[in-house]
Amino acid sequence: MTDKIEIQTLPITEKFTRQKRLIQDRGELALIEDGKPFQHLGYFSLKKGKGYYRGGHYHRSKVEHFYVVRGKIRVRLMDLDSKIKSTVTLEEGQLATIYPNCAHRFEAVEEAQVIEYYNSMYDPEDDVPYGDF
């Protein structure tokens, strides 16, 4: 697997931590980030189906973060520096950080809801299409 993706599972705890999930009878509170600045916040849902995906590109400079709120997604990756292809599966409660020069495409294993954020404004010049997954 490429070293251009980091995956962490947010701990389920009632203690205060900068990142966590608090699951109670009344519902869930996810503290996804506390202290890191960001300028872009987005949300996407993804349904399972042939030809359904999000992404299919890489970035020259942007570091992106993706938090899976619900569901399960398969992430196809291509490290453009090492030429290593890999696939990871992200589940509810996991946070992935994808670094520059790592092409990525998201596919639903089951219907999913995802929050995306990064510390810059959207720059269409930094979205470089990539299709060889």
Q: Which distant-in-sequence residues (6+ apart) come within 8 Å of 99 by Cβ? A: 4, 5, 63
Q: Which two tokens stand for residue 20?
A: 């966590």
Q: What's the whole-model pTM score?
A: 0.94
pLDDT tens digits, one per residue of 5-32: 999 999 999 999 999 999 999 999 999 9
pLDDT tens digits, one per residue of 68-123: 999 999 999 999 999 999 999 999 999 999 999 999 999 999 999 999 999 999 99
Contact 118, 64 (CB under 8 A): yes
Rounded distance between C-alpha atoms, residue 89 and residue 43, angstroms: 18
pLDDT band at 1 (very low <50, low <70, confident <90, very high): confident
Place of tokens 């398969």: 74
Q: Give all domains of the chain, ordered by start, each with its CATH number.
A: 5-9+38-123 (2.60.120.10)
